[in-house]
Amino acid sequence: MTGRAQTETPELVELLAEDGSVIGTADKAEVHTDATPLHRAFSVHLRTPDGRVLLTRRALGKVAWPGVWTNTCCGHPAPGESDEGAIRRRLAQELTIPADAVGAPVPALPDFHYRAVDAGGVVEHEVCPVYVADLLVDPATLPSPNPDEVAETAWAPWTDAVAALRATPFAFSPWFVLQARDPRLNALLT
């Protein structure tokens, strides 16, 4: 038993073969261990018209990489859910950003795939397309993030975020560090 109420529906993630094909599903609460199987995910970078991006610090209660700074939002599409649908759902759940406050996500790194192990031994092993989306409202009007998901937020010019990543990569999620090295993402955010 996972400690979850028996009536609560588990959040499922799609498990993948090495070729990216779906081979099954698993309970998200049970899949992230020291032997995490390859599964479907996404990452999104939210930007303002003046070129700032939203960085988030993961909540201290997160199972993997608690307290590290990362891109705007990451998550797992539900079985059969589109990446755009999952992005809008998770932006609302994590950051309380309404769906109509965000433009259509643009694929930046459609083939991003990584495996990383955090200090506690939890493995992330994901096929994780990376998107950029425009914030359509004034950032000052956004409500506070969900504290179970996000400890802090900061808006920063992309070039400043990249400089911080280069200077102190250990303070950031490994997927964010890898994404920021890709010239395709830099071309969209610079």
Using CA atoms, how far apart are residues 106 and 116, in angstroms rounded to an integer? 25
DSSP result, 46-89: EE-TTSEEEEEEE-TT-SSSTT-EE-SEEE-PPTT--HHHHHHH
Annotated catalytic residue 126: yes
Q: Which two tokens stand for residue 92?
A: 């609302």
Q: What percent of the chain has pLDDT over 90?
A: 94
Q: What band does 8 get if pLDDT is binned at 50, 70 and 90?
A: confident
Give me the helices (H) in the chain, please.
28-31, 83-95, 158-167, 174-180, 183-189
Enter the pTM of the model: 0.94
User: Is 129 domain-assigned?
Assistant: yes
Residues belonging to the binding site for Mn(2+) are 32, 39, 76, 124, 126
Using CA atoms, how far apart are residues 47 and 189, in angstroms rounded to an integer? 8
Instruction: Give me the phi and psi of 87, to 5 degrees please.
Output: -60, -50
User: Is 46 domain-assigned?
Assistant: yes
User: Is 3 domain-assigned?
Assistant: no
User: Looking at the DSSP assignment, which residues form a beta bridge with residue 135?
Assistant: 102
User: Is 5 domain-assigned?
Assistant: no
In the set 14, 126, 128, 149, the catalytic residue is: 126
User: Is 7 domain-assigned?
Assistant: no
User: Is 2 domain-assigned?
Assistant: no
In the set 73, 74, 128, 149, the catalytic residue is: 74
Number of domains in the chain: 1
User: Is 35 domain-assigned?
Assistant: yes
Residue with tokens 């073969």: 17
Q: Which two tokens stand for residue 53?
A: 């991006």
Annotated catalytic residue 74: yes
Using CA atoms, how far apart are residues 128 and 114, in angstroms rounded to an integer? 8
Q: What is the pLDDT of residue 165?
A: 97
Q: Report CA 48 to chain centroid distance, whole Å.
A: 18
For residue 31, pLDDT beyond 70: yes
For residue 80, pLDDT beyond 80: yes
> Is pLDDT larger for residue 123 or for residue 6?
123
User: Is 105 domain-assigned?
Assistant: yes
Instruction: Give me the phi and psi of 93, to 5 degrees please.
Output: -70, -45
pLDDT tens-place string over residues 87-122: 999 999 999 999 999 999 999 999 999 999 999 999
For residue 1, pLDDT beyond 70: no
Q: Which one-letter amino acid corresponds to residue 130?
A: V
Domain with 185 in it:
12-189
Residues belonging to the binding site for Mg(2+) are 94
CATH code, domain carrying 54: 3.90.79.10
For residue 4, pLDDT beyond 60: no
Q: What is the pLDDT of residue 7?
A: 57
Q: What is the pLDDT of residue 2?
A: 44
Q: Which residues, 6+ apart, have CB-to-CB distance to 160 below 8 Å?
A: none
Write the DSSP symbol of residue 2.
-
pLDDT tens-place string over residues 145-162: 999 999 999 999 999 999
User: Looking at the DSSP assignment, which residues form a beta bridge with residue 172?
Assistant: 69
For residue 23, pLDDT beyond 50: yes
